Chains A and B, each alone.
Chain A
């Protein structure tokens, strides 16, 4: 069963990421790299990507003529996706275990406790309806 693990942060958290020390940054980069490799090697990784900073984000709506209307101003409190993993595992517990490891990714001042949102991907087999 597939799950999407989402790591998100507020603007403030993204800004603190910009100010990581060299050692903190090194630990963070090394963790992300080995974590992705390990998930890949163990055969559970479907896809993982990191996203560009929220400053690059645009909100798009269709105008009356269907043309895109883009908007780039977001409230401070809004959370932005920073990156995600899609994994294919045997049980929700396994997904939570992996999410907990992602949550412990090194951040400012050592070990992090980033909340990771875990959501099932809708690819389960349908049941027979009576």
Chain B
């Protein structure tokens, strides 16, 4: 072989192989923490050797073998220590037996690993960190950086997550068929949250966290490869691609938010849109329609409109009608009201917003005020819109959103504000 692979392609390859190898090692040795260390060592060894000598014929088998060997070494030295300490050899695993084990990788190992990392006994933050590390193959430092927390904090979070898995006795096995959908939903939710973290980019004054969105898409492709027949898996991957496609158009030169209606659609990623639309069609061809699929279908309709005026609002409204019946998500109700306003006029949308304050999840949220402001503006009631844009600005917990809302208020208030001051 002549020359090794480039650093970037090598890094990608290693990260792609990580969950498969780790899953296989955990399945065999049942010790998640030790397995992770062993796989990390195998990855370091691979990075060093492959860069110099080129790739082995079967990189996955190579890594698995090295990780197995590390595990065996570790068990051997531990049992040797125990022998020295207890002077009894009986409990030690015979070395011969261990070295004879051939690592048989199984397709489902990655998926089992995901189920384990997204186990309901973990907090959401722990599940996210563990998934990015064990399945995504990111380093603790990278994860800490992405979430803007100190590395020691993230290391502790991951270590506690492993502890929880150990102490709650989460088995490394596929869930039962009855449990499977529920557990799969937990996995999708975790990946969706990772995507959102990158998408909303809530951090600080300027930082973008697009990398997290891309990581979520990569993980989702992995899940989709493993479960191509699950329409909601296909739906979520489609939703992410169709949303990510608008990434470049979503923020301006100064980092300001640009709403869908004002985005430069030539900046949208046609390739991601095409892939997303194909996936949506594929998911719907299976005859069912879950929440992710429906949201993906809405995203597809937006992405298909070359100009905002061409948006198929009646179709979007119909999809939100379905979503509303299916889920108790108040954000769906808000989007439904916007769609209704676009089809039947602002008054119809505003009417749908009435009463939503009663929902405690919306009462303190800036979103209800922001949507109402937007619809009031459409209806021509600028003064009320200004008030509500400002009210929303005092409630949001995202700096860029706040700036956006204040800009809306400033834009509309040029005249009313002067007359206020004269009073």
Contacts and interface: CB of A to CB of B under 8 A. Distances in A.
- Binding partners A and B: yes
B407 A36 contact: no
B272 to A, nearest CB: 28
B411 A22 contact: yes
Interface in B369-421: 390, 393-397, 399, 402-403, 406-407, 409-411, 413-414, 417
Contacts of A78: none
Given A20-B410, A30-B254, A25 B394 contact: no
Interface residues of B, number: 23
Interface string A85-112: 0000000000000000000000000000
Interface string A4-29: 00000000001001111110010001
A128 interface: no
A106 B118 CA distance: 46
B390 A18 contact: yes
B257 to A, nearest CB: 11
Given A18-B393, A19-B413, A52-B396, A29 B204 contact: no
Contacts of A21: 410, 414
A33 B406 contact: no
A53 B395 contact: yes
A53 B411 CA distance: 21
Contact count band on A:
20 to 34
Describe A's contact surface by its main secondary structure: helix
A37 B254 contact: no
B410 A33 contact: no
Contacts of A22: 407, 410-411, 414
B206 interface: yes
A19 B405 CA distance: 11
Given A18-B409, A53-B393, 17 more contacts: A14-B394, A18-B390, A20-B406, A20-B410, A21-B410, A21-B414, A25-B403, A29-B254, A33-B206, A33-B254, A36-B204, A36-B205, A37-B206, A48-B204, A50-B399, A52-B394, A52-B402
User: Which 8 pairs across A and B sit closest by C-beta, in order of nearness?
Assistant: A53-B394, A22-B410, A36-B205, A18-B390, A55-B394, A52-B397, A50-B399, A33-B205
Interface of B: 204-206, 254-256, 390, 393-397, 399, 402-403, 406-407, 409-411, 413-414, 417
11 contacts: A14-B394, A25-B406, A30-B254, A33-B206, A36-B204, A37-B205, A49-B204, A50-B204, A52-B394, A52-B395, A53-B395
